[in-house]
Structure 1
């Protein structure tokens, strides 16, 4: 749980940057990758991350502009990545402008549960982390190089001329 807006912003910067690296590595041809035909495609998961961030913030009481045409999943990986870049910046600006350290302790009913506003921001971070993990699995299945998030990926170890540590 966050005790200051600055704490959230620093965490958001790191997690959003990691998510941006993953989104920037997508290709148009990879977007149709899914685990199975009845599951979300890589494009759908990526677009969900992009479009649900403003939706969640609005639910939490932070006013931000929703993504235009959010119900239509783009066929362009670049469009998805570029839209997240804007959403990420808007997220930081809106939280900094609309909430204070003191307001993080205020209770908010979200999704039928009462919780401190600081917890809602933790949910936002955990949400993008969760879906970023799903995307990296689908990226691997699609044959893409997966960027490292909390350390080098298998692909990055290889690029450094090293063998990835054994499991």
Structure 2
């Protein structure tokens, strides 16, 4: 009987989600980066950048034991990309770095605790593998869903995410 490890399962899930996310990001037109469907919504470019920057955040769950949002020395993403090429280049760079960190980890390390804090306030304390899935993958999937709505509102063809989209099949 073949058994999969926690690490292998997360890598397989990550690979699927990265491929789908890249397809969605490829559709984001840079001439619409300032598009904002509602005053409380992020602009299209901000949302796409946030999805990409979350990859670096996910890597913290693998490499570190904690992240304090009040730490002035904590790593911060660079300026938001201003072109589609920059957006996709950062996505590819952060994806490769995250995959490498996850491949260098193992099941035992992924069961160690990760704390997300704001000073003394603990916002989350979970095993690294659970943090990666909940605050990492699920968080990115949520924002990717928002991004597909932005694309739809801009009448841009939406790629299939978990099967063909109406744009790919001609029906809904």
CA deviations on 1:107-164 (whole Å, 9 max, x unpaired) are: 2222422211110110211111011001000011112111010011111012xxxxx2
Within-5 A mapping of 1:5-154? 5-58=7-60, 60-62=61-63, 70=78, 72-97=79-104, 99-111=105-117, 112=122, 113-123=124-134, 124-154=136-166
Size of the aligned set, in residue pairs, is 153
- Taking the aligned partners of 2:5 and 2:127, their CA distance within structure 1 comes to 11
Corresponding residue number in structure 1 for 2:71 = none
Residues 42, 135 of structure 1: 8 Å contact kept: yes
RMSD over aligned CA atoms reads 2.0
Is the partner of 1:150 in helix, strand or coil? coil
C-alpha separation in 2, matches of 1:117 and 1:74: 29
CA contact (8 A) 1:34 1:41 kept: yes
When residues 137 and 20 of structure 1 are mapped into structure 2, their CA distance, relative to the original with a 3 A threshold, is: same
Structure 2 distance, partners of 1:87, 1:26, is 18
Question: Runs of 5+ in structure 2 lacking a partner?
Answer: 65-74
CA distance in 2, matches of 1:120, 1:4: 13
Q: Which runs of 5+ in 1 are unaligned?
A: 159-163
Richer in strand (by share) = 2
1:61 Cα deviation from its structure 2 partner:
4.8
